[in-house]
Homo-oligomer: A and B are copies of this chain.
Amino acid sequence: MSAIHHIAIAVHNLDAALAFYRDALGLGMTERREVPEEGVEIAFLPAGEGEIELLQPLSEGGGVARFLEKRGEGLHHICLQVDDIEAAMERLRSAGARLLSEEPRVGTSGTRYVFVHPKSAHGVLLELYEVAE
């Protein structure tokens, strides 16, 4: 178990959020792109070894859009790096934690990740992301 990989913040409008996080706070931005398969546009703002990700829904009905309707803007999920995602999933399952997928999901870059249900993680939507050593 290792570093904080990213903190994701759900926002209504990426431009307005960038005016705060990038322009006023002074974080850099490495990338901004749409991820249609997840229904969001994302801006990536590195902070040390981790990053802040700003998520704006591309349409109504997706997970981030529902989050915004229910709770308003704010912290959406956090992601921790693990070096062996299957070992981490096995340990969590043994402890009775609920995972959002049976197997690790595979991102477009080939990286593997899984989400832990907030009920198991004390109200936190927790992503684990495998970064091989």
Using a CB–CB distance below 8 Å, which chain A residues touch chain B? 1-4, 7, 9-11, 16-17, 19-21, 23-27, 47-50, 52, 54, 71-75, 78, 80-81, 88, 91-92, 94-95, 97, 118, 120-124
Please indicate the chain B residues that have their CB under 8 angstroms from the CB of A73 in the complex.
Answer: 122-124
How close is A59's CB to chain B, nearest CB, in angstroms?
20
What does DSSP make chain A's interface, helix, strand, loop or mixed? Answer: mixed
Q: What are 26 of the A-B contact pairs (CB < 8 Å)? A: A1-B25, A2-B47, A2-B48, A3-B48, A3-B50, A4-B7, A4-B47, A4-B48, A4-B52, A9-B123, A11-B123, A17-B122, A21-B122, A24-B91, A24-B95, A26-B91, A48-B49, A48-B50, A48-B81, A71-B123, A74-B75, A74-B122, A74-B123, A74-B124, A75-B75, A75-B124
